[in-house]
């Protein structure tokens, strides 16, 4: 075997180097390689700097890597103690070092276990890892109120994060990953500092990011003033206060954690970009243990009437976090086919009467449906209404109200769609659908109306509008990836949503009324950044249904300089009937970046059935 100069140098000084390591590192098991021990030593050495300069406590030369002052959360699961306790030493209170001072989502704990196996050779089987993850995510997890704001991470949503307090914290914590990643865990200040140390040990750029001043958060310090704190310090101060180990939410949730009682029938309403809205039912039945379930879901498209059945299962962590998988008949004909295997991430309300989340699929998780569940009872319930919206002054509009146990023998007076909307007659009625004919007054106030059928109500279910004032193409900024040769393509689905300006008459303000998809024609236009690059001719194609299909990856001999097919374009929607103040068709556009495949993937922990 040929040894590089770097390897030889490391081997030559190995004995002396290891003798200087803390005893905890020198006594690691034989299965831990020299390189791994050196890596851990880097964490320990860096930690001493953080202990003195950042945590604000005197360094203890015998402590590795820091001294905890907060109460930990004891570990009581025998398997977790067996598999983790050999390296994470227990104390007299039942705490395991490091573990007892962290809380995280199921994905966070799964990622940690993977790291322990990869870096430290932790001896654990997949079944054992699943059981340990299940225990830690439940009893060392997040309260529902803590998890909900960062569900977009596990739902694989691409969004513009608005939870980053300033540019300094962004530079320290969100330059390489979403800010929702650290906010998906809770730690003591010491543990947050150790997490920074781990980043420095594993990722060379982290040390620069933590110690590189970032302009923009205020004026520079004056002469003689102390230097501004570094981004790592600012981030540590912020996140240790924002996401502490002990919180009122967790203290309130711990005694309420119980086995989820989800068996039964659930009413489903869903929205799929590019395909519209769906209604249906999910039947949940008990599985192999108290937290596992099997499912059968039927969905009907409100646009086409087509139906499908999906079968699958799910696992519930912490009493509310659903992770599951389901599939249709698998007669898959295209990438955005709803028969595809989907992963399911849902947040169940603590009262276990409702849930919401995203079911997603695709190589980059780019396809998905937004799902809401409500528990079916003997009482009538309304789950969806169509059309999306009605224009003021409209006459004889057929309104379809979908639900369960809807009462029979309805009269027009049994329906209430708000002031200015008159129910003329009940065209048909069944336990799952009521069709009513309505008129909307020309002076009806624009906004979302509640829809009530006797005692059942769905809030903000039917928007009334004066006119379509503007279009918004969603997503407003988007990403697609080339592929088809060696790598899978990353697609992008678009929708054109109409908006009424609302009562203030101004666009893009909080009172604007979303009216749902508008009938448009689609096109791709050049985003002019480089002269003569003609990106729109090479990046891919847009279907009439607004699904962007990227081109092949790799050099293209037909392109200038033989470049790859990457580029930047506008995706443009032009309304077929709606006009602006000058009589021209309304338009909206989205900025689309078409880039190369993701050649290297970061660890993507998956937890489910």
**Helix or strand run (H / E) with residue 49:** helix 34-50
The pLDDT value recorded for residue 54 is 42
- pTM recorded for the entire structure: 0.86
3-state secondary structure of 382: strand
250 bridge partner residues: none
pLDDT at residue number 65: 52
- Predicted pLDDT of residue 22: 37
Using CA atoms, how far apart are residues 166 and 415, in angstroms rounded to an integer?
49
Domains 264-375 and 470-595 share a fold: no
Q: Does domain 470-595 have CATH number 2.60.40.10?
A: yes
Residue 428: CB atoms within 10 A of its CB come to 11
Tokens for 198? 């781990």
Cβ–Cβ under 8 Å, residues 433 and 402? yes
pLDDT tens per residue across span 200-222: 998 888 988 898 876 655 666 67
Q: What is the CA radius of gyration of the chain?
A: 28
Alpha-carbon distances, residue 264 vs 257, 322, 344, 402, 516 (angstroms)? 20, 15, 18, 19, 32
Domain limits of the chain?
Answer: 5-251, 264-375, 382-465, 470-595
Structure tokens at 77: 């699961």
133 C-beta neighbours (distance < 10 Å), count: 25
> Residue 590 contacts by C-beta under 8 Å, 6 or more apart in sequence?
473, 474, 475, 476, 477, 478, 494, 570, 571
Quick one: which of 253, 342, 373 has its CA closest to 608? 342
How far is it, in rounded angstroms, from Cα 228 to Cα 246?
29
- 343 conformational bin, left if phi > 0, alpha if psi -120 to 50, beta if neither: beta
Region of residue 430 (phi > 0: left; psi between -120 and 50: alpha; otherwise: beta):
beta
Please tell me the predicted confidence (pLDDT) of residue 404.
Answer: 96
What are the DSSP calls for 564-597, one per residue? Answer: -S-EEEEEEEEEEEEE-TTSPEEEEEEEEEEE--
**CA–CA distances in Å: residue 554 to residues 366, 487, 529, 549, 597:** 22, 10, 21, 16, 10
pLDDT of residue 424: 96
Neighbours of 409 (CB within 10 A): 7
> Cis link prior to 292 (omega < 30° from 0)?
no
CB atoms within 10 A of CB 521: 13
Q: Which of 395, 384, 377 is nearest to 434 (CA)?
A: 384
Distance separating alpha carbons of residues 536 and 525, to the nearest angstrom? 6
Parallel/antiparallel/unpaired status of strands 390-391 and 456-465: parallel
Nearest to 498 by CA among 475, 522, 465: 465
Contact of 38 with 52, CB cutoff 8 Å: no
Residues 382-465: name the CATH superfamily: Immunoglobulins (2.60.40.10)
Beta strands in 376-416 (DSSP E): 381-386, 390-391, 397-404, 415-416
Q: Which residue positions in the chain have pLDDT lower than 70?
A: 1-66, 214-221, 603-609
Q: How far is CA 571 from CA 522, 536, 552, in A?
A: 7, 10, 19
Alpha carbon distance 421, 217 (integer Å): 50
Secondary structure (3-state) at 492 = strand
For residue 283, the SS3 value is strand
| Closest by Cα among 205, 209, 202, 200 to 234 | 209
Residues 6+ positions from 373 with CB-CB distance below 8 Å = 266, 267, 268, 282, 346, 354, 355, 356
CATH for 264-375 is 2.40.128.120
What are 409's two structure tokens? 């023998």
Backbone angles phi, psi at 201, to 5 degrees: -70, -35
Confidence at residue 532, expressed as pLDDT on a 0 to 100 scale: 77
Number of Cβ within 10 Å of residue 229's Cβ equals 14
Q: What is the pLDDT of residue 605?
A: 61
Q: Helix (H, G, I), strand (E, B), or coil: what is residue 300?
A: strand
In this structure, the strands spanning 381-386 and 397-404 are antiparallel
pLDDT of residue 606: 62
């Amino acid at each position: 075997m040929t040894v590089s100069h770097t390897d030889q140098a490391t081997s030559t000084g190995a004995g002396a180097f290891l003798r200087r390591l803390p005893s905890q590192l020198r006594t690691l098991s034989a299965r831990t390689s020299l390189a791994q021990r050196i890596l851990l030593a880097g964490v320990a050495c860096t930690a001493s700097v953080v202990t003195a300069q950042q945590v604000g406590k005197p360094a203890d030369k015998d402590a590795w890597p820091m001294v905890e002052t907060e109460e930990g959360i004891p570990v009581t699961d025998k398997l977790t103690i067996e598999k983790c306790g050999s390296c994470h030493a227990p104390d007299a209170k039942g705490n395991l070092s490091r573990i007892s001072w962290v809380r995280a989502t199921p994905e966070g704990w799964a990622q940690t276990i993977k790291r322990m196996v990869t870096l430290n050779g932790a001896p654990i089987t997949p079944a054992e890892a699943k059981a340990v993850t299940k225990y830690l995510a439940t009893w060392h997890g997040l309260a529902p109120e803590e998890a909900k704001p960062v569900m977009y991470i596990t739902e694989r949503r691409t969004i513009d994060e608005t939870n980053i307090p300033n540019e300094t914290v962004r530079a320290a914590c969100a330059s390489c990953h979403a800010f929702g990643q650290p906010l998906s865990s809770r730690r003591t200040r010491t543990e947050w500092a150790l997490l920074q140390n781990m980043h420095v040990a594993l990722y060379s750029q982290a040390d620069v990011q933590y110690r590189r001043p970032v302009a923009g958060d205020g004026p520079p310090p004056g002469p003689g003033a102390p230097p501004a704190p570094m981004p790592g310090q600012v981030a540590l101060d912020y996140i240790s206060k924002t996401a502490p180990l002990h919180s009122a939410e967790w203290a309130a949730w711990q005694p309420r954690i119980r086995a989820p009682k989800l068996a039964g029938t659930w009413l489903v309403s869903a929205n799929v970009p590019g395909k519209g809205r769906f209604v249906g039912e999910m039947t949940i039945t008990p599985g192999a243990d108290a937290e596992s379930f099997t499912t059968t879901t039927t969905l009907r498209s409100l646009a086409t009437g087509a139906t499908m059945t999906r079968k699958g299962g799910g696992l519930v962590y912490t009493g509310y976090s659903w992770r599951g998988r389901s599939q249709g008949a698998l007669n898959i004909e295209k990438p955005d086919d709803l028969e595809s295997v989907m992963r399911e991430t849902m947040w169940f309300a603590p009262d276990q009467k409702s849930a919401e989340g995203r079911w997603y699929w695709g190589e980059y998780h780019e396809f998905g449906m937004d799902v809401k569940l409500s528990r079916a009872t003997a009482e009538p319930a309304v789950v969806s209404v169509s059309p999306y919206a009605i224009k003021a002054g409209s006459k004889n509009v057929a309104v379809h109200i979908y639900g369960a146990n809807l009462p029979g023998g309805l009269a027009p007076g049994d329906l209430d769609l708000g002031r200015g909307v008159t129910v003329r007659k009940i065209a048909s009625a069944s336990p799952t659908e009521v069709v009513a004919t309505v008129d909307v007054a020309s002076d009806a106030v624009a906004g979302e109306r509640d829809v009530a059928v006797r005692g059942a109500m769905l809030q903000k279910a039917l928007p009334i509008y004066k006119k379509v004032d503007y279009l918004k193409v969603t997503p407003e900024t988007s990403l697609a990836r080339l592929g088809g040769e060696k790598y899978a393509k990353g697609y992008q689905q678009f929708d054109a949503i109409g908006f009424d300006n609302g009562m203030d008459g101004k666009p893009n303000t909080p009172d604007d009324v979303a009216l749902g998809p508008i009938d448009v024609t689609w096109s791709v236009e050049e985003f002019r950044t480089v002269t003569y690059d003609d990106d729109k001719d090479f990046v891919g194609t847009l279907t009439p249904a607004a699904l962007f299909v990227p081109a092949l990856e790799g050099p293209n001999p037909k392109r200038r300089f033989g470049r790859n097919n990457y580029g930047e374009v506008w995706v443009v929607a032009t309304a077929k009937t709606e006009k602006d103040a000058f009589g021209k068709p309304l338009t909206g556009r989205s900025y689309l970046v078409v880039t190369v495949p993701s050649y290297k993937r970061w660890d993507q922990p998956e937890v489910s059935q």
